[in-house]
Chain A
Amino acid sequence: SQQGEEDPQALSIQEGENATMNCSYKTSINNLQWYRQNSGRGLVHLILIRSNEREKHSGRLRVTLDTSKKSSSLLITASRAADTASYFCATDASGNNRLAFGKGNQVVVIP
């Protein structure tokens, strides 16, 4: 399956700490995306990283991509209670014209 798999599936941290989650996938990709879902809401796109990129930043978010290991990581620095959410990675297999979403990481930031 091309579906990305996030790890850990659940993470609980104190406000101010950094949160790191990983995503692994099986086949080559054109891009990998991270989304956030707050409870009861739709998914919100956070960042897209293309297969020829190794790292990307957006505010307190840092995404890395290692295509040799078929894995990506999402780092949230200086976490806030508002970062409590589920985080999904989504991949597109090269030649497969759609995204496949993982099952998500649940992150709880304790104030």
Chain B
Amino acid sequence: DARVTQTPRHKVTEMGQEVTMRCQPILGHNTVFWYRQTMMQGLELLAYFRNRAPLDDSGMPKDRFSAEMPDATLATLKIQPSEPRDSAVYFCASGPGLAETQYFGPGTRLLVL
């Protein structure tokens, strides 16, 4: 049963620290998405890739966030430096196409103190 995996599942850190979240997409999926979910803003699309190439990262703060796909089995989302307002659940999703079914990971719950 193929699943998207994310690590860590929970992260508590202090303001100013670097945070790296990792995602392993489902093998064979060529699109990967990063979302952020908060009570206030709901589900926000941060960035997405196709065939490891970034297509759009306009949803994330450029000065502190970066997203990469070093290889087809790993996507990373990095925040440096982290701020309390970054506290949220970050989801990775993968799929066979940009507007097709997306398969979500369990999320990384981030708390920045």
Give chain A residues whose Cβ lies under 8 Å from the Cβ of B2: none
Give chain B residues whose Cβ lies under 8 Å from the Cβ of A41: 106-107
A88 close to B43 (CB less than 8 A): yes
Give chain A residues whose Cβ lies under 8 Å from the Cβ of B100: 31, 48
Known interface pairs A98-B48, A103-B42, A104-B42; A92-B103 also in contact (CB < 8 Å): no
Interface centre among A30, A42, A96, A102 (most CB of B within 10 A): A42
A45 close to B43 (CB less than 8 A): no
Residue A61 is within 8 A (CB to CB) of chain B in the complex: no
Residue A33 is within 8 A (CB to CB) of chain B in the complex: yes
Give chain B residues whose Cβ lies under 8 Å from the Cβ of A42: 4, 91, 93, 104-107
Is the contact region of chain B dominated by helix, strand, or loop, or is it mixed?
Answer: strand
A33 close to B101 (CB less than 8 A): yes
Give chain B residues whose Cβ lies under 8 Å from the Cβ of A87: none
Please, how many residues of chain B have a CB less than 8 angstroms from a CB on the other chain? 20
15 chain-A/chain-B pairs, Cβ below 8 angstroms: A31-B99, A41-B107, A42-B106, A42-B107, A43-B93, A43-B102, A43-B104, A48-B100, A96-B99, A98-B48, A98-B99, A99-B99, A100-B45, A104-B42, A104-B43
Q: Please provide the 9 A-B residue pairs with the shortest distance between their CB atoms, ordered closest to farther.
A: A42-B104, A92-B99, A97-B98, A103-B42, A43-B104, A101-B43, A45-B101, A42-B106, A98-B98
Interface residues of B (CB under 8 A from A): 4, 33, 42-43, 45, 48, 55-56, 91, 93, 98-107
